Amino acid sequence: MTLHTWPAALRSGVIRAILLTIPVAVLTIGWASVRGASGERLAISTVINVILVASIGIFVGNSGVESFGHVAFSAIGAYAVAILATPPLIKQTKIAEAPFGLAGLQLSVLPAALASLAVVAVAALLIGLVVMRMSGITSTIVTLALLVVVNGIINNWTSLTGGAEAFYGVPLVTTLPITLVVMLIVLFVAGAFRSSPWGLMLQASREDELAAQTMGVNVRLLRLLAFVISAVGAGAAGVLLALLLGAITPNDFYLTLTFITIAMLVLGGKRSTTGAVIGVIVITIGDEIFRWLGDGPTLGGVTLPQLPGFSTLFLGVVIVVVMVWRSAGIMGDREIDDFTKRWFRSGAGTSKVLADSTTRSQARLTATGLVKHFDGVAAVDGVSLEVGPGEIVGLIGPNGAGKTTLLNLLSGVLLADEGTVAINDVALPTKLHRIARTGLARTFQNIRLFKELEVSENVEVTTIVARGSQHEVVEPGDLLATFALLASADRKAGVLAYGDQRRLEIARAAAIGNHFVLLDEPVAGMNEVESLQLRETIRELNALRGAGVLVVDHDLSFILGLCQRIYVLDAGRVIAVGTPQEISSNQAVIEAYIGASVAKDQKPEQHPHPEGPVPSGEQENS
Amino acid sequence: MNEFLQQLVNGLSLGSTYALLALGLAIVFTIFGLVNFAYGELITIGAYVMLACSNLGLPWIVQALAGIFAAAVASVLMELIAFRPVRHADGTTMLITSFGVAIAVQAILTITVSARARSVPQPAWTIETVSFGGIALPAYQVVTVVVTALALLTMVLVLKRTNFGIAMRGAAEDFTTARLLGVRANRMVSSAFLISGLLAGVGAVLILARTGGAVEPTMGLAPVLKAFVAIVIGGIGSLSGAVVGGLVLGVAEVMLRAYLPGQVTGLTDGILFALVVVVIVVRPEGVMGLKARLRT
């Protein structure tokens, strides 16, 4: 396993950028020297496309939120540098009426370019602040609207941009070496971000936004960060393109460029920086071939018909075929420098099974008068409960009793209509991602792992969060060793066996939950042997960090055998509280839950047994 | 006052077109989980078939019916060819697939017809005006409102009264359960795409009446974007929300265009989208959307 630390991220950023720049430089410099001026132009625009696509990938690949609007940032960058760097003499004829005296302004190219990037960054920050408040699919639609709006503004704000006609006279300073250097920087940033703790947390939110938030990942902030970084990269591509073309129109940064960059991104693989480079090169070659074919070349004496739009058809078909055939693209998650990973491999050999903690948590979880309605039905109706320091507490009840809703209230996934949840009399924060930082973590009834991330990475997400909020942090490797998952550390979480997935989810919660871990039906779908094993796992969890555990289940034998204290929930209310002995002989519980004839024969000492509680209906029939 | 009423009718006419298109998008989204970017190209295909029929000298009503039919067939074919293979993929994969389909259709029209705009001559009544109590209204606006109202009414009747419609609404609520109860998945999906295509085709006819018949390969982008925004306003996943969203959007757009100062009318869409963003930020689940069960 490879840990996501900043030094490791910077190192792999450097290695990846260099390994990727070498072949691109060889290809483009070679092409430019063979084909002269026109070859150089193609070479430079190819490198600019690498900058653009790798930049888009920083946001799209890590966050999993598709964007069709990044070309708008290229447009902003291009027009900003054109307005700032074009000599006033030319501007007087074109945009003499420009606001803020921009028509008379003369900046040399480098300050103009840097100022343009700053403009892009500010624009991206303002747009991102709004867009990141929306759900994934809505923000994708908004990015497309952004593209249309920016294009509309450039077309219509004639006094500033010259409108739909070409803005000419932009200094021609973009050269192949300059572009390659910028590409090297962008590839470094993209590579380092992807391997960094921030990148990992953002990828976790890509896999499961809710789970990431409950594990303490500030999804909105990280998305915004990635959005701004990737927008600045796209802006740099726009700046370079303006300084290459000398004359730009709004449509240079509109649908055609959007189509081609999306084809490049999906072909190579959105999640991989190496994929961005491969996608650009393959699409560029294909695009050139189809463009040439579409121009009606003469082949073997036969002149083919002119087919304008032929290269666009190629792009469309490539996108559809890639999505159908391999939606992760050519590279998927792989990178050119993967082979170097084993040189820096950390810790599988040194990981140790953790000893039981000597310090017990002193935190007490208190819920008071919780009420939650769904469309007028009270799913939870005035529940108060308490989990003492280091206590293992069970919550049982028939289906529909409100167990999962209660757990969602306790973990902050749902907001209560009435009532409070507090740890040591301090109310839980309202922001979901802050709750994990108080040392309260949970698992989900329908397992919500970060499926496409490695097993070790699943745990690492929470250890990173814990590092920012706790004194005693457990190492991911040690946690995996403790929960017997070390052998699978490098496998993707989604391919683990069911029982291992449950254990991994508990290990992930254990990394951050040093005060409380809430488990939602951990033995659902397990046989008796697996359920026994899991009971031991939960005891380990409890011993490991001294954390209190609240287990929700309707497997009575499992709960009776595990917990020190049990709450029984029925129709949204607590109908009984007590020790396993008290609960199994409580008349109200027997009637509501177990069925009279079963309870007579079952003593808590007998649990768990192969023959657990039998549903009342069947028992009566026998 | 008269001017305001005229603008209001104009807004309702534009809004009802958006509502129609948004409903077509929403039907496919609720059943199939696809945000169909290629929906705009169904409009384009309908318009180009009308162009072809017009070049053949066929009467307008035949052009219109052929355009609607073509859009519906194209919609079903798109699903069969491109979307069925990615049916079980995540939303983003389907979205990008439809984006690829959109690009491909645009390219095919560029190759086979032209990248440049063509014109479908519109019948004389589209530029006439009708008077209601002293208010002169362009005929196409009145026709648009009436046609859309009829189309929506038909949709409501089909969805509420026929077995097929009830099965479809069930599938929109929970596709898996509907299948388990015996609703045939492939037929349901094809029907959803068929209805979606019919609505796009009707939209194409109305859009041509409004714009005087201009067709070009990229003509679908603007209306599909408006339809997207409409379903976002109404709440993604809600059919009635899509209709309300479309009407709201159309009226807002016409009012902005009419009452904004002259120098910023070019920025109408920008201002409109900015307003929509404010709405979404205030009500992330949309105006009519289902209440979010989980905080995400």
Please write the tens of the pLDDT for every residue from B187-199.
Answer: 888 999 999 999 9
Cβ partners under 8 Å of residue A96, min gap 6: A103
A50-78 pLDDT tens trace = 999 999 999 999 999 999 999 999 999 99
* pLDDT at residue A401 in the model: 86
Q: Hey, is the C-beta of A473 within 8 angstroms of any chain B C-beta?
A: no
- Three-state SS at A254: coil
How far apart CA A279 and CA A315 sit, in angstroms, is 12
Q: Is a pLDDT exceeding 70 seen at residue A101?
A: yes
Write down all domains in chain B, each with its CATH number in brackets. Answer: 2-282 (1.10.3470)
**Which two tokens mark A428?**
């839980």
Q: Does A152 touch chain B (CB under 8 A)?
A: yes
pLDDT per residue as tens digits for the range A454-476 = 999 999 999 999 988 887 788 88
Type of residue at A183: M
pLDDT in tens, A73-95: 999 999 999 999 998 888 888 78
To the nearest whole angstrom, how far is the Cα of B59 from the nearest Cα of chain A? 31
What burial letters (b/e) apply to A412-449, b meaning 16+ CB within 10 Å? bbbebeebebebeeeebeeebbebbbbbbbbbbeebbb
Tokens of B246: 């479309």
Per the model's pLDDT, the better-predicted residue between B289 and B180 turns out to be B180
Asked whether the predicted pLDDT for residue A398 surpasses 60, the reply is: yes
Q: What percent of chain B has pLDDT above 70?
A: 95
Q: Which residue of A has its CA nearest to B226?
A: A145
A106-120, A242-256, A350-364: segment of lowest average pLDDT:
A350-364
pLDDT confidence band for B72 (50 / 70 / 90): very high
Give one DSSP letter per residue of B42-66, joined into a string: HHHHHHHHHHHHHHTT--HHHHHHH
B-chain residues near A153 (CB < 8 A):
267, 270
User: In this structure, are residues A275 and A322 in contact, taking their beta carbons and an 8 Å threshold?
Assistant: no
Tell me how far apart the alpha carbons of residues A475 and A484 are, in angstroms, rounded to a whole number.
14
- CB contacts of B103 in chain A (<8 Å) are 259, 312-313, 315-316, 319
Say if the Cβ atoms of B277 and A64 lie within 8 Å.
no
Strand partners, A440: A516
Smallest CA-to-CA distance from A519 within A542, A551, A567, A547 is with: A551
Query: Which chain A residue has the Cα nearest residue B88?
Result: A324
d(CA B80, nearest CA chain A) in Å: 13
- Residue B157, chain A, CB below 8 Å: the answer is no
Which residues from chain B sit within 8 angstroms of residue A318, using beta carbons?
100
Contacts of A218 (CB under 8 A, 6+ apart): A201, A433
Counted residue by residue, chain B has a size of 296
Give A358→chain B minimum CA distance, Å: 36
Amino acid at A341: K
Q: Compute how many other C-beta atoms are within 10 angstroms of the C-beta atom of residue A132.
A: 19
Q: Are strands A298-299 and A302-303 parallel, antiparallel or unpaired?
A: antiparallel
Q: What is the CA radius of gyration of chain A?
A: 30
pLDDT band at A339 (very low <50, low <70, confident <90, very high): confident
Task: Judge: B101–A320 Cβ closer than 8 Å, yes or no.
Answer: yes
- Pick left, alpha or beta for residue A217 (phi over 0 → left; psi -120 to 50 → alpha; otherwise beta): beta
3-state secondary structure of B116: coil
Q: What is the C-alpha to C-alpha distance for residues A570 and A399, in angstroms, rounded to an integer? A: 9
Average pLDDT, rounded, for chain A: 88
Residue A599 — very low, low, confident or very high, per pLDDT cuts 50/70/90?
Answer: very low
Q: In order of start, what are the domains of chain A with their CATH numbers?
A: 6-342 (1.10.3470), 389-402+431-563+578-621 (3.40.50.300)
Q: What is the pTM of this model?
A: 0.89
| Three-state secondary structure call for residue B289 | coil
3-state SS class at B135 = strand
Write out chain B residues lying below 8 Å of A215, CB-based: none
Note the pLDDT tens digit of each residue in A230-251. 999 999 999 999 999 999 999 9
Check residue A594 and give its pLDDT: 58
Helix or strand (DSSP H, E) at A305:
none
B97, pLDDT greater than 50: yes
**In B, which residues are within 8 Å of A255 by CB distance?**
218, 221
Band of residue A349 on the pLDDT scale cut at 50, 70, 90: low
- For A154-188, the pLDDT digits (tens) are 998 888 888 889 999 999 999 999 999 999 999 99
Omega before A608 within 30 of 0, i.e. cis? yes
Q: Is B150 in CB contact (< 8 Å) with chain A?
A: no
Structure tokens at B131: 């008077």
Q: Could you say which of B103, B105, B293 has the minimum Cβ distance to residue A315?
A: B103
Is the pLDDT at A546 greater than 80? The verdict is: yes
Judge whether A437 and A423 are in contact, CB under 8 Å: no
Instruction: Flag whether pLDDT at B289 surpasses 60.
Output: no
Of A133, A141, A308, the CB nearest to B284: A133
Reduce the DSSP state of residue A446 to 3 states and report it. Answer: coil
* Strand ranges in A339-475 using DSSP code E only, listed in sequence order: 365-374, 377-387, 392-396, 418-423, 426-427, 440-442
Contact in structure between B8 and B251 (CB atoms under 8 Å): yes
Phi, psi of B136 (to 5 degrees): -85, 125
CB A436, CB A204: distance < 8 Å: no
Chain B residues within 8 A of A134 when measuring between CB atoms = 280-281, 284
Per-residue pLDDT at A612 exceeds 80: no
| CB interface of A with B, residues 21-80, below 8 Å | 64, 66, 68
- Could you say which of A209, A266, A408 has the minimum Cβ distance to residue B296? A209
What is the band of A350 on the pLDDT scale with cuts at 50, 70, 90? confident
Q: How far is B268 from chain A (nearest CA, A)?
A: 9
pLDDT for the residue A527: 85
pLDDT digits (tens, 9 = 90+) for B140-194: 888 899 998 998 888 888 888 888 888 887 777 777 788 888 888 788 889 999 9
Residue A225 predicted with pLDDT over 90: yes
The contacts of residue A424 (CB under 8 Å, 6+ apart) are A362, A363, A364
Amino acid residing at A528:
E
- Which residue has 């095919």 as its token pair? B108
Q: Which chain B residue has its CA at the smallest distance from A433's CA?
A: B296
Question: What is each CA distance from A381 to A39, A406, A419, A430, A577, in whole angstroms?
Answer: 73, 10, 10, 21, 16
Which residues of chain B from 61 to 100 reach within 8 Å of chain A, CB to CB? 82, 85-86, 89-97, 99-100
B236 chain-A contacts, CB cut-off 8 A: 137-138
**B111 contacts on A by Cβ (under 8 Å):** 307-310, 313
**Chain A contact present for B263, CB below 8 A:** no
